[in-house]
A and B are shown apart, each in its own frame.
Chain A
């Protein structure tokens, strides 16, 4: 494993992290979906790069799944879905954009700090990469918290899974079973999400999940 190969892997995960920030300030649903598609495509490239670097051909399967489903099929399906539901395309942020970005930066710092404090002397570089994966995961959470729109929450969730796949492929020799199952689970999750979106849209005429909050079932007798 030489310097250039590591730098390349670093750059790819760095750009993925950048896309997470891009996701944070999108105000429109199509923008969110596009940014997510780019992040997934970058993940596909990063996984292929790892496949070459580690000499593990099975990782190409993971890369293929990521590119086909997460970078192409799911974004297209989501775009079709929101078109069919003809929902308003603006995302109402619960948290102001500036503050969200600030939180994002804090989370990045946090994940770096956490990972640096656990150095296995032999694998400092791995720890840095794990820190980026963790940052992507945490930013995914931030998206889910800061945006109360069903589609935005789906995107946030899948962005978390991007971070997880990145971490999984960087763990050298981790059996394929995990990556395939993650990819598969995203697919199933999309089906469930889609189902619910139809129902939610059906019942409430909006995808704004804030409208779900008025039935907590704890009203007084």
Chain B
């Protein structure tokens, strides 16, 4: 067993160990700290994987695309656990959740982590599907964790739509097997992603197109493409903020990752053109609808959720356009959006606990009342709106260039969507930062959330806007070559 294999085994076994261990810890204070510690060891294992990767097997494979996302996922899971330390302690103090439910939280959170890692390192279309489904099931209960009327509704909706989406994705997976089976023979070979990709040029394009449609609609439900997005704003708004951060920053990425694995298969086939057009169509519609919806939000977390739909739309357009420019823009957007949006949910969580409300009309004049919070809150919003120096600016400009190069109309529509979304975000932000302060009931419990995770996210997002480190660039180049 080489070092790469050890890293892989560590990455997949640490969440299990962590989950089992934390299930036995009754004291909330200790459990929250331990959880962050475990998440950090997972991050180390993920980093190790980036330095030494194992040989691909029929079940698992670590390639450049995987490595663009595995350390990122582990990092955000770690910072989310760090953020939860203050956030959940406050929820327990105020009685929003019971201390004894914290063990369930930790077990489910680690199951989610495990399934996300498994999806990222899988080399088998079946295993990938199982992993995405596991992630869905683990997060359903986390979304409904507050057990309020609204949280239950959101979780139920998420569960139904998520399950239906995942069922469609399975049908797509089966069709992919059907298309590969005549070439690779029966059994595991025809489910091994790297083998399927090798023979994709000879596969029946009509069957491949059909498979991609099902994958797009199935995984697209989890990504939150319009009109399959109905669960997304509710789930983000009603889930505890650490969960909203993980949903937006990580789970949407995982679903997108699975879809892009499908697109990589099509890339070598004549069916590739249809996959591109469909992605551009879904992406553009999601972007424009979400941008318009952003203007009329009254709830802070719903605003952020719609912004996620907007950014998923941008990625759809970017990967749809493809080519070196488009795929680069999409990948960079994917990475930076994860950092920015989960950071933004940290900021939102802190604001909500400080003011005791998530209504935008009640969040006014933060710069006067909570200047320190307001700086990070404002910076995170500006990053999500796509202002320089943050990475989303870089990726959106690159995408605009790529889109205009493909068709002037596409560039125009994209620019319109981006501008509306930008205006909406800035409009909402200015009121929250500089508006006339309103009287909110004073907080009953002190909020002790660390600002370090958010600051870290913003710092990395800013660095990625200016330059891409050599190692990450190497991984991205591999992925771009495969995306076609």
Contact = CB atoms under 8 A, between A and B. Distances in A.
B177 A203 contact: no
B258 to A, nearest CB: 15
Contacts of A120: 178, 182, 204, 207
A221 B298 contact: yes
B207 to A, nearest CB: 5
B232 to A, nearest CB: 13
Given A174-B191, A175-B188, A212-B156, A218 B137 contact: no
B182 A218 contact: no
Nearest to B238: A217
A164 B174 contact: yes
Interface in B53-93: none
Contacts of A168: 170, 174
Interface stretch (B126-134, B315-323, B334-342, B368-376): B126-134
B150 A217 contact: yes
A164 B170 contact: yes
Among A161, A174, A220, the most chain B Cβ lie within 10 Å of the Cβ of A174
Given A171-B177, A175-B191, A137 B150 contact: no
Contacts of B171: 134, 137, 164, 167
A218 B204 contact: no
A73 interface: no
Interface stretch (A30-38, A61-69, A96-104, A184-192): A184-192
Contacts of B187: 173, 175
Contacts of B452: none
Contacts of A175: 126, 187-188, 191
A209 B137 contact: no
A165 to B, nearest CB: 10
Interface stretch (B157-165, B439-447, B467-475): B157-165
A1 to B, nearest CB: 14
A181 B173 CA distance: 14
Contact of B181 (A173, A181, A195): A173
Contacts of A192: 137, 140-141, 159
Main secondary structure of the interface of B (DSSP, over half): helix
A108 interface: no
A12 interface: no
B387 interface: no
A171 B191 CA distance: 11
B110 to A, nearest CB: 16
A195 B137 CA distance: 13
Nearest to A56: B186
Q: What band does the interface of chain A fall in when counting residues whose beta carbon is under 8 Å from B?
A: 35 or more
Nearest to A196: B156
A50 interface: no
A113 to B, nearest CB: 12
Interface in B346-376: 359-362
Contacts of B160: 144, 153, 157
Interface in A90-125: 114, 117-118, 120, 122-123
Among B127, B150, B157, B186, the most chain A Cβ lie within 10 Å of the Cβ of B186
B478 interface: no
Contacts of B170: 164, 168, 178, 182
A219 B206 CA distance: 46
A174 B177 contact: yes
A218 B149 contact: no
Contacts of B360: 221
Contact of B186 (A123, A172, A199): A172
Interface string B265-304: 0000000000000000000000000000000011100100
Contact of A172 (B127, B175, B181): B181
Contacts of A157: 160, 163-164, 167
B191 A209 contact: no
A174 B174 contact: yes
Contacts of B419: none
30 contacts: A118-B210, A120-B207, A122-B182, A130-B178, A137-B168, A141-B164, A144-B160, A161-B167, A164-B170, A164-B171, A167-B171, A168-B174, A173-B187, A174-B191, A177-B127, A177-B130, A178-B129, A178-B174, A182-B170, A185-B130, A188-B137, A189-B163, A192-B137, A193-B159, A199-B147, A200-B152, A203-B152, A215-B153, A217-B150, A221-B359
Interface of B: 126-127, 129-130, 133, 137, 140-141, 144, 147, 149-150, 152-153, 155-157, 159-160, 163-164, 167-168, 170-171, 173-175, 177-178, 181-182, 185-188, 190-191, 204, 206-207, 209-210, 234, 237-238, 297-299, 302, 359-362
Interface of A: 114, 117-118, 120, 122-123, 126, 130, 134, 137, 141, 144, 153, 157, 160-161, 164, 167-168, 171-175, 177-178, 181-182, 185, 188-189, 192-193, 195-196, 199-200, 203, 209, 212, 215-221
Closest 8 CB pairs of A and B: A173-B186, A221-B361, A118-B206, A212-B153, A181-B130, A178-B126, A160-B167, A173-B187
Given A188-B137, A196-B159, 8 more contacts: A120-B204, A130-B175, A137-B171, A173-B181, A178-B129, A189-B137, A203-B152, A215-B149
